[in-house]
């Protein structure tokens, strides 16, 4: 066991001596010095902690135990991911009544690297092309044929790329070998390769969706980084085409700098345009999704509908599909066949017509209404949301008790607001950014004024409200992430050494400025009655602001929650856990703020100061606080979101409108989101919201490339 350093011993001795003197009053001190003494004590204690942390030895672990621990972490992650995506598979009804057939073929040679690189052949050896064509059920076998472990999945919008990735993940997890990495799905829409490395983004996403991976790693900052660095993760990347315009080339370059195995899904045109301007994904093979055959649709849709109106016990779909089969050249048949060539549109048609007793798909053959395939697609997209919310929930979800309160109109208005967000992911801690900064500032000014006005005089409340408002405006643009740390002594030491201490000096200066402004205002008011009291109050306020800032830096590392190490958190659980962290950390800040006031005021005033700081920190400087004020109160009050948002989002997932990916929600398909924003823009529903992301124009077909 390492002995404390000499400097630490001196600091501890001084602290003990001061505490004994305060208790026995051996040396008399003037009353105005009490705030300085208490503040100095706190700083000395922090100094002792810093000295010990800086000299903390890094633990040495055996290489064999390292491998065993990392393998145990990978096995736990495998259980978590399997549970998560099995549940999502049931939600999407991918096996009800049976999986819709998906097929693919080898992609164009101009979109892939040389086969010698894909095969990882040594210099001087050439290899021929691999036959990667197949159908659903064989995707894991096809993937294992690629020696480099790098595969690109291409296809048109709604062609089933995401479903194929889901099947690949579950197949690899089911038949995973010990030496194989754990496949984990990620959505690339949240990655900005210009500001974040691919490795850093993977680590952040793993920690976000699996908070227990934030524990300190064996040789890195956390377990997530350990898994990424040791190639224990197989990134399955969806949504390359959904990234912000202009980031595709930078993303492909970043992926080429990292040679780890991965799977990437994208629309063909966007990927082809990127390849022309940048380069192919190095050592990666590519497959392209094929259109559904009429026989696939004819085998699937009739079995999803009730046997009621059609003759001989058939379904309404039988008559429609018979028309497509017997008169394929008719205008109506051609339009509908073109639309039903993608799994997305087949799924929408099932929800609208098979699951609704009062709808008949024969109307899709009316050429007076639907004169083109685009008209049929628009109709299916428009009719999907009302049809989904007219049906009873498929399972007893969190919102089942209030099912029926969600009308199609209400659901469309709320989902339109969510679709108009700057972020394509629906993350609960970012929803507070959905209001204008001026509106958020006015809300928090009212809260600051109410809290300080109830506890202090008018002049003091005015000064404190102005100071807190300035602080809120300074941090309002930032999206506060949910708390995901936890408390362990060794990891606390490492975290303080690696990260927290870097920001203490800057925050100390900020706190000194903030406290100086507050102290000058309060001291000036008090100086009108007593110059000495004004100076003391100003000094105490300056010290209070400094302590609040320093504690605000350290609190995310020293106080936190326990995390579930067996399952990915749902947003409801994350909100509850972040609420606990927010309250505990805010209490710590409140106590730190009350320390300098003990020598100037009585216990009641110190308690009032602690209460005010605790409430304001919890509501304004934590993800949970902003969620409560803006998302749980203001947005429902203005009818842009429901009062029970979590229950609504959960039910929207059950109705296959949304899908849950770890800690966030996403629209089932980008076409649904675009349809909502396009329709609402026409009707002016979200005129006060940020402009939706616009898709790039369709690129020209790719030029040929010699292999």
* 384 and 416 housed in the same domain: no
* 142 and 173 housed in the same domain: yes
User: Does the residue 318 lie in any domain?
Assistant: yes
* 515 and 570 housed in the same domain: yes
Q: Rounded CA gap, 443 and 585, in Å?
A: 23
Q: Is the model's pTM score more than 0.85?
A: no
User: Dihedral angle at the C-alpha atoms of 70, 74, 75, 81, nearest 10 degrees?
Assistant: 160
- In sequence order, the 6+-apart residues with CB closer than 8 A to the CB of 560 are 483, 484, 485, 486, 487, 581
Domain boundary among 34, 54, 74: 54
Q: Rounded CA gap, 205 and 183, in Å?
A: 14
Backbone phi, psi, residue 106, to 5°: -65, 135
Higher pLDDT, 516 or 615: 615
* 563 and 480 housed in the same domain: yes
What is the pLDDT averaged over residues 320-329? 89
Q: Find out whether 195 and 202 touch, Cβ atoms under 8 Å.
A: no
Residue among 549, 547, 524, 550 at smallest CA distance from 535: 524
Domain boundary among 357, 390, 423: 390
Q: Count up the domains in the chain and report the number.
A: 5
Q: How many residues are listed for the chain in this entry?
A: 707
Q: Rounded CA gap, 629 and 634, in Å?
A: 7
In the predicted model, is pLDDT for residue 377 greater than 70?
yes
The string of pLDDT tens digits covering residues 667-693 is: 988 888 888 888 655 554 443 333 333
Q: Domain range for residue 505? A: 436-633
User: Does the residue 689 lie in any domain?
Assistant: no
- Which alpha helices (H) appear in 496-594, and where do they start and end? 501-527, 531-558, 571-594
Q: Which residue carries 């509850």 as its tokens?
A: 576
Query: CATH code at 672?
Result: 1.10.10
**In the prediction, which pLDDT does 144 show?**
93
**In the prediction, which pLDDT does 67 show?**
76
Determine the Cα angle at 85 with ends 238 and 632, to 5°. Answer: 85
The string of pLDDT tens digits covering residues 379-409 is: 999 999 999 888 776 554 444 444 456 888 8
Question: How many CB atoms sit inside 10 A of residue 441's CB?
Answer: 15
Question: How many CB atoms sit inside 10 A of residue 356's CB?
Answer: 17
In the predicted model, is pLDDT for residue 170 greater than 80?
yes
**In the prediction, which pLDDT does 268 show?**
93
Paired tokens of 308: 């009621």
- Which alpha helices (H) appear in 286-363, and where do they start and end? 294-300, 316-326, 331-339, 343-349
**In the prediction, which pLDDT does 576 show?**
81
Q: What percent of the chain has pLDDT over 90?
A: 31
The string of pLDDT tens digits covering residues 258-308 is: 889 999 999 999 999 999 888 899 999 999 999 999 899 999 998 887 655
Paired tokens of 534: 């004004």
Residue among 29, 39, 90 at smallest CA distance from 397: 90
In the predicted model, is pLDDT for residue 68 greater than 90?
no
What is the pLDDT averaged over residues 170-180? 86
Determine the Cα angle at 213 with ends 73 and 248, to 5°. Answer: 110
In the predicted model, is pLDDT for residue 137 greater than 50?
yes
Which band of pLDDT confidence, cut at 50, 70 and 90, is reported for residue 700? very low
- Among 192-196, 264-268, 570-574, where is mean pLDDT lowest? 570-574
Q: Rounded CA gap, 37 and 22, in Å?
A: 9
Strand, coil or helix: what is 426? strand
User: Does the residue 295 lie in any domain?
Assistant: no
Higher pLDDT, 292 or 613: 292
**In the prediction, which pLDDT does 171 show?**
93
* 101 and 196 housed in the same domain: yes
Domain boundary among 234, 261, 289: 289
* 419 and 532 housed in the same domain: no
**In the prediction, which pLDDT does 376 show?**
94
In the predicted model, is pLDDT for residue 195 greater than 80?
yes
User: Does the residue 690 lie in any domain?
Assistant: no
Backbone phi, psi, residue 572, to 5°: -65, -45
**In the prediction, which pLDDT does 545 show?**
60
**In the prediction, which pLDDT does 421 show?**
77
Higher pLDDT, 7 or 108: 108
**In the prediction, which pLDDT does 84 show?**
86
Long-range contacts of 249-257 (CB under 8 A, 24+ apart): 249/274, 249/277, 249/278, 250/193, 250/194, 251/188, 251/191, 251/193, 252/278, 252/279, 252/281, 253/193, 253/278, 253/279, 254/193, 254/197, 254/198, 255/198, 255/281, 256/281, 256/282, 257/198
* 420 and 455 housed in the same domain: no
Q: What percent of the chain has pLDDT over 70?
A: 69
**In the prediction, which pLDDT does 8 show?**
62
The string of pLDDT tens digits covering residues 591-605 is: 776 766 655 566 777
Which band of pLDDT confidence, cut at 50, 70 and 90, is reported for residue 125? confident
Long-range contacts of 376-381 (CB under 8 A, 24+ apart): 376/335, 376/336, 376/339, 377/339, 377/345, 378/675, 380/339, 380/345, 380/348, 380/349, 380/352, 381/348, 381/671, 381/672, 381/675
Q: Rounded CA gap, 584 and 581, in Å?
A: 5
Query: CATH code at 148?
Result: 3.40.50
Q: Rounded CA gap, 428 and 439, in Å?
A: 19
**In the prediction, which pLDDT does 249 show?**
92
Which band of pLDDT confidence, cut at 50, 70 and 90, is reported for residue 513? low
Read off the DSSP letter of residue 83: H
- Among 136-145, 272-281, 374-383, 493-502, where is mean pLDDT lowest? 493-502
* 469 and 522 housed in the same domain: yes
Beta strands in 48-181 (DSSP E): 103-106, 134-135, 150-155
* 318 and 453 housed in the same domain: no
User: Does the residue 704 lie in any domain?
Assistant: no
In the predicted model, is pLDDT for residue 329 greater than 80?
yes
Which band of pLDDT confidence, cut at 50, 70 and 90, is reported for residue 49? low
Q: Find out whether 304 and 354 touch, Cβ atoms under 8 Å.
A: yes
Higher pLDDT, 77 or 700: 77
**In the prediction, which pLDDT does 345 show?**
94
Beta strands in 35-119 (DSSP E): 103-106
* 327 and 422 housed in the same domain: no
**In the prediction, which pLDDT does 688 show?**
38
Q: Find out whether 323 and 365 touch, Cβ atoms under 8 Å.
A: yes
The string of pLDDT tens digits covering residues 441-464 is: 899 999 999 988 888 778 778 877
Average pLDDT, rounded, for the chain: 78
In the predicted model, is pLDDT for residue 152 greater than 90?
yes
- Among 127-141, 225-239, 505-519, 673-687, where is mean pLDDT lowest? 505-519
What is the pLDDT averaged over residues 613-622? 86
Paired tokens of 230: 């040791």
Which band of pLDDT confidence, cut at 50, 70 and 90, is reported for residue 575? confident
Question: How many CB atoms sit inside 10 A of residue 289's CB?
Answer: 24
What is the pLDDT averaged over residues 561-577? 62
Q: Rounded CA gap, 415 and 673, in Å?
A: 9
In the predicted model, is pLDDT for residue 524 greater than 80?
no
User: Does the residue 294 lie in any domain?
Assistant: no
Q: Rounded CA gap, 11 and 17, in Å?
A: 10
| Edge-first strand listing for the sheet containing 103-106 | 134-135, 103-106, 285-289, 150-155, 262-267, 233-238, 182-187
**In the prediction, which pLDDT does 655 show?**
87
- Among 61-65, 383-387, 494-498, 574-578, where is mean pLDDT lowest? 494-498
Strand, coil or helix: what is 396? coil
In the predicted model, is pLDDT for residue 491 greater than 60?
no
- Among 134-143, 313-322, 381-390, where is mean pLDDT lowest? 313-322
* 160 and 261 housed in the same domain: yes
Q: Which residue carries 């009544």 as its tokens?
A: 97
**In the prediction, which pLDDT does 577 show?**
79
User: Does the residue 140 lie in any domain?
Assistant: yes
Q: Which residue carries 């699996």 as its tokens?
A: 210
What is the pLDDT averaged over residues 650-675? 87
Q: Find out whether 305 and 315 touch, Cβ atoms under 8 Å.
A: yes
* 428 and 449 housed in the same domain: no
Residue among 86, 7, 95 at smallest CA distance from 50: 7
Which band of pLDDT confidence, cut at 50, 70 and 90, is reported for residue 214? confident
Q: Find out whether 157 and 267 touch, Cβ atoms under 8 Å.
A: yes
Which band of pLDDT confidence, cut at 50, 70 and 90, is reported for residue 190? confident
What is the pLDDT averaged over residues 414-427? 85
**In the prediction, which pLDDT does 520 show?**
64
**In the prediction, which pLDDT does 692 show?**
39
User: Does the residue 706 lie in any domain?
Assistant: no
**In the prediction, which pLDDT does 142 show?**
94
Q: Which residue carries 């006005």 as its tokens?
A: 453
């Amino acid at each position: 066991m390492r002995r404390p350093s000499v400097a630490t011993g001196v600091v501890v001795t001084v602290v003990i001596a001061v505490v004994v003197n305060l208790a026995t009053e051996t040396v008399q001190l003037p009353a105005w010095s009490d705030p300085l003494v208490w503040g100095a004590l706190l700083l000395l204690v922090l100094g002792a902690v810093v000295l010990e942390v800086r000299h903390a030895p890094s633990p040495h672990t055996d290489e064999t135990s390292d491998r065993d621990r990392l393998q145990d972490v990978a096995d736990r992650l495998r259980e978590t991911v399997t549970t998560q995506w099995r549940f999502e598979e049931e939600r999407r009804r991918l096996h009800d009544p049976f999986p819709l057939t998906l097929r693919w073929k080898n992609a164009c040679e101009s979109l892939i690297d040389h086969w010698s690189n894909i095969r990882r052949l040594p210099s001087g050896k050439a290899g021929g092309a691999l036959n990667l064509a197949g159908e659903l059920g064989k995707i894991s076998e096809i993937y294992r044929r690629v020696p480099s472990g790098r595969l690109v999945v291409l296809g048109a919008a709604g062609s089933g790329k995401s479903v194929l990735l889901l099947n690949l993940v579950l197949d690899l997890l089911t038949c995973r070998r010990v030496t194989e990495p754990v496949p984990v799905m990620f959505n690339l829409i949240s990655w900005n390769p210009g500001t974040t490395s691919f490795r850093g983004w993977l680590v952040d996403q793993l920690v976000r969706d699996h908070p227990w991976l934030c524990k300190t790693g064996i040789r890195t900052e956390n377990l997530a980084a350990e898994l990424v660095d040791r190639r224990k993760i197989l990134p399955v990347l969806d949504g390359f085409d959904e990234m912000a315009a202009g980031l595709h080339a930078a993303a492909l370059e970043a992926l080429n700098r990292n040679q780890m195995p991965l799977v990437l899904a994208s629309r063909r045109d966007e990927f082809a345009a990127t390849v022309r301007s940048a380069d192919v994904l190095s050592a990666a093979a590519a497959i392209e999704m094929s259109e559904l055959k009429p026989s696939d649709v004819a085998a699937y849709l009739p079995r999803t509908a009730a046997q009621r109106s059609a003759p001989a016990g058939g379904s309404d779909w039988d008559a429609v599909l018979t028309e497509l089969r017997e008169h394929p050249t008719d205008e109506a048949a051609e339009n509908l066949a073109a639309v039903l060539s993608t799994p997305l549109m087949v799924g929408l048609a099932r929800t609208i017509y098979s699951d609704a007793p009062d709808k008949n798909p024969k109307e899709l053959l009316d050429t007076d209404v639907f004169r083109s395939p685009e008209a049929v697609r628009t109709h299916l997209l428009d009719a999907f949301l009302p049809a989904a919310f007219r049906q009873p929930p498929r399972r007893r979800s969190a919102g089942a008790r209030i099912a029926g309160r969600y009308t199609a109109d209400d659901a469309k208005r709320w989902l339109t607001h969510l679709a108009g967000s700057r972020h394509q992911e629906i993350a609960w801690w970012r929803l507070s950014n959905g209001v204008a900064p001026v509106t958020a500032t006015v809300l928090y000014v009212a809260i600051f004024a109410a809290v300080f006005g109830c506890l202090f005089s008018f002049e003091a409340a005015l000064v404190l409200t102005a100071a807190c408002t300035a602080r809120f405006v300074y941090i309002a643009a930032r999206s506060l992430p949910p708390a995901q740390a936890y408390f362990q002594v060794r990891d606390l030491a490492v975290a303080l050494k690696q990260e927290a201490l870097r920001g203490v000096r800057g925050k100390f200066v900020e706190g000194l400025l903030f406290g100086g402004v507050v102290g000058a205002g309060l001291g000036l008011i008090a100086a009108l009655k007593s110059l000495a009291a004004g100076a003391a109050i100003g000094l105490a306020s300056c010290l209070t602001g400094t302590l609040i800032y320093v504690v605000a830096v350290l609190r995310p590392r020293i106080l936190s929650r326990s995390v579930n190490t067996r399952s990915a958190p749902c947003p409801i659980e994350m909100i509850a856990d972040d609420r606990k962290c927010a309250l505990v950390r805010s209490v710590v800040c409140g106590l730190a703020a009350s320390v300098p006031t003990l020598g100037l005021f009585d216990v009641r005033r110190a308690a009032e100061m602690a209460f005010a700081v605790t409430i304001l920190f919890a509501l304004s400087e934590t993800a949970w606080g902003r969620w409560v004020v803006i998302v749980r109160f203001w947005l429902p009050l203005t009818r842009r979101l429901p009062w029970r948002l979590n229950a609504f989002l959960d039910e929207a997932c059950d109705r296959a409108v949304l899908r849950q990916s770890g800690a966030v929600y996403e629209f089932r398909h980008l076409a649904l989101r675009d349809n909502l924003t396009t329709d609402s823009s026409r009707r002016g529903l979200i005129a006060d919201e940020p402009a939706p992301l616009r898709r790039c124009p369709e690129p020209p077909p790719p030029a040929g490339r010699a292999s």
